[in-house]
Chains A and B, each alone.
Chain A
């Protein structure tokens, strides 16, 4: 059985939905963060797959950008989570609702 682009796309869609679901359901900021990473990487997967299918390097190029941005985001995000955790010994996103209108 040959692994076609459709498989990759399907896998990416599944990963994305898992990530989106985790993002919406989880309360722990760390878990939400990992869900976001999952979504980002599912998108990366579609880029790679589409690039291979079309015989273009542009897909891989885009992935590098996404990786760099994601790395930077991880640094900032983790720092925020750590400092939140230090100040209130919990990383529950629901408790961080000071910006309620």
Chain B
């Protein structure tokens, strides 16, 4: 089956190329169907090719498609192993559902076919990233998804805020990529190759210090792509893009590339515990930081955006505490329920005629039962209510952090608090949108979304309910699935489970309790009487003010980085470039011009004059030769 594994990348690529040239002619909805069917094709093929891994008989394979840069070990090759296949299945599976959903959501958009061109292009880039067999190809995909993210965030580019958000995402990611590139250069200089073979035994080329440096630099790259402190600021702004984009790129797949990067380089992080602990610490801080901001957001998508940042933080805690399986598990379940939440939010926005302010919603459950039910399931899942998917994966991450002991216990505590806050803000959102009295503007008639939108919602809801069962403490399916990818890394597989069974029960119980407390408080507060809510919120006015404004981080970055950067650019453009660089160029041109003006009278335009000069020159040459005594 791996002979044609390139089809997984080639199908969406073919879709992108076809729709680029003939999308206008295909029109709506045909171009959407073309893109969606190609994505499903990629999913089906990936599923078939992954069967050996399900059976436990598969082994990692590398399929070389063509020679690219053999001198640095960078062939155009696909690595098909459990880790990449898991990523591929989630990307193509969730991607397919979102493609179908987008057919309904993008209905009537003048650039309908262009949207699907970009979506397919994104899938191509993301699959290149996860299927890469060397760092060069991984980087290629890494940049491709960054480009698609930019194109899709600013899809409605006539809106200035969307154009600015796309630019911001691209520039912030550049900062991360800078660190990533340095890490790759260290690997290249130390090993002389960029092949993933170096990960078999990184001790051969890296000292502990260099491994720590590589790990930290990769964290910089991962923090950019996966929106971690201090580079998370682009993700909330990225919500300017169409909602299917938020669901696919900025929740389910692309933003998890950083988690994948850390998991893929598990062997290097194994060598550098400091780097791994830093990954986990950054993750924990980001989880708490973003969760608090999410409490006070009014925009339905902003809540989900900060929630995504927070959940990515969880994944970082997982992979940072060497529980790679737990991190990847949470990636998978999060892809299900966060895609569901975003698509549900899109359905709500669609029904409310593009209203995103939750203050103007309420009571929608009656009008859109499917959306309300599926979003309710996702809300419970992200809050960590058993037996939904989010409970199992979050519990495993927290358990792994607790088992590590020492500093990691602090991170566990942060994660626990965050779990409670997560339950709080998600319940707040659900109540504000679906329950209570309608607060919407006049003239809005909410209605349930069309079938192409609700069916993906229901399928994702199914995955959200059942997805957690593939890796429970009682039946560790995902662990066995991923084992071949991590067998060279000590302790990566079984980290998540405490030796003592009762500890696991207590940890799980505490986590669930935190979630239930959050749900209870939020429900009491937001579904309760108005005057009590006002009184309680008034008591917390100061922190809420800080959360509403996202701790003023954007303003801080604006003053400390953007403004100085702009003034340097201004100086370079108007002083240095216009004065110095252009001065040199204009100076040379001016000198040539003056020289030309001096000697141009030589050209009299009379043929005779030229003839005389020719003759005089000949005679001169003759005399010179003769005076030298022959030729």
Q: Is the CB of B605 within 8 A of A100?
A: yes
Q: Is the CB of B611 within 8 A of A97?
A: no
Which of chain B's residues 600-620 have a Cβ closer than 8 Å to chain A? 600-608, 611-612, 615
Q: Which residue of B lies closest to A100 (CB)?
A: B605
Q: Is the CB of B615 within 8 A of A98?
A: no
List of B residues within 8 angstroms of A23 by Cβ: 611
List of A residues within 8 angstroms of B600 by Cβ: 101
Q: Is the CB of B607 within 8 A of A93?
A: yes
Distance in angstroms between the alpha carbons of A18 and B510 in the assembled complex: 116
Give a binary string over A75-101; 1 marks a CB under 8 Å from any B CB, 0 the rest: 000000000000000000110111111
List of B residues within 8 angstroms of A5 by Cβ: none
Distance in angstroms between the alpha carbons of A43 and B607 in the assembled complex: 22
Distance in angstroms between the alpha carbons of A94 and B602 in the assembled complex: 16
Residues A101 and B608 in contact in the complex (CB < 8 Å), given A20-B615, A24-B615: no
Q: Is the CB of A101 within 8 A of B615?
A: no
Of the candidates B599, B601, B605, B608, the one whose C-beta lies within 8 Å of that of A98 is B605
Asked if A32 CB lies within 8 Å of chain B CBs, one says yes
Nearest Cβ on chain A to B592's Cβ, whole angstroms: 15
Q: Is the CB of A94 within 8 A of B615?
A: no
Distance in angstroms between the alpha carbons of A98 and B603 in the assembled complex: 10
List of A residues within 8 angstroms of B606 by Cβ: 93-94, 97
Q: Which residue of A lies closest to B597 (CB)?
A: A101
Residues A94 and B608 in contact in the complex (CB < 8 Å), given A20-B615, A24-B615: yes
Which of chain A's residues 10-52 have a Cβ closer than 8 Å to chain B? 20, 23-25, 27, 32
Residues A32 and B607 in contact in the complex (CB < 8 Å), given A20-B615, A24-B615: yes
Of the candidates A20, A24, A93, A101, the one whose C-beta lies within 8 Å of that of B602 is A101
Count of residues in B whose CB is under 8 Å from the partner chain: 13
Q: Which residue of B lies closest to A32 (CB)?
A: B607
Q: Which residue of B lies closest to A25 (CB)?
A: B608
List of A residues within 8 angstroms of B601 by Cβ: 101
Distance in angstroms between the alpha carbons of A98 and B607 in the assembled complex: 11
Nearest Cβ on chain B to A8's Cβ, whole angstroms: 19
Nearest Cβ on chain B to A42's Cβ, whole angstroms: 14
Q: Is the CB of A100 within 8 A of B608?
A: no
List of B residues within 8 angstroms of A20 by Cβ: 611, 615
Q: Is the CB of B608 within 8 A of A97?
A: no
List of A residues within 8 angstroms of B607 by Cβ: 32, 93-94, 96
Q: Which residue of B lies closest to A99 (CB)?
A: B605
- Which of B601, B611, B615 has the most chain A CB within a 10 Å cutoff? B611
Q: Is the CB of B611 within 8 A of A24?
A: yes
List of B residues within 8 angstroms of A97 by Cβ: 604-606
A-B contact pairs, 20 of them (CB 8 A): A20-B611, A24-B608, A24-B612, A25-B608, A27-B608, A32-B607, A93-B608, A94-B606, A94-B608, A96-B605, A97-B606, A100-B603, A100-B604, A100-B605, A101-B600, A101-B601, A101-B602, A101-B603, A101-B604, A101-B605
Closest 9 CB pairs of A and B: A97-B605, A101-B603, A100-B605, A101-B600, A93-B607, A99-B605, A24-B611, A23-B611, A97-B606
